[in-house]
Amino acid sequence: MPFFQLLNATDIVTTLEKNEIVNFLYNNIEGSPEHSKEVILKCIEYALSKFPHQGGFLVLAKEGHEILGAVVVNKTNMEDYIPENVLVYLAVKKDSRKQGFGTALIQKAIEYTKGGLATHLPPDNIYQGLFEKLGFAYKYKEFRLNK
């Protein structure tokens, strides 16, 4: 029977556990991951940080010790002009999809956040309809200048 595990700054998460989560996300993000394992690890460490200007949390869907799904939320420490939180990563194990884990993980992210929650999705992302069904609204196009 699957269960959900919340991880935040109050938890001790070993390097081995972090690497397991990084590898899970890297291997199970729909399509090819936009980010390297190093970038995913940076996001996880930010979420688990004890520094007051960082923070967030992870929620894992697990069966025994096996990760079936994961969501990573980072705090932005901003409010009023952009949401206070951003859902950075969401992944469900390929053979566990269509079983409600994505929905449950997003619902847990909504439940555990204080303030607004945003996410960035590419136009063809498989989770777009799910986010809309759960109350997220398309608000802005994002333009980026990478320097």
pLDDT at 91 over 80: yes
Is the distance from CB of 118 to CB of 86 less than 8 angstroms? yes
C-alpha distances out from residue 56 to 2, 52, 65, 90, 100, Å: 23, 10, 23, 14, 23
pTM of the model: 0.91
**Which domains are seen in the chain, by residue range?**
3-133 (3.40.630.30)
Mean pLDDT score of the chain: 91
Greater confidence, 1 or 14? 14
Q: What is the pLDDT of residue 32?
A: 57
Residues 6+ apart with CB under 8 A from 147: none
What tens digit of pLDDT does each residue of 94-133 get?
Answer: 998 888 999 999 999 999 999 999 998 877 777 888 888 9
Residues 6+ apart with CB under 8 A from 13: 7, 48
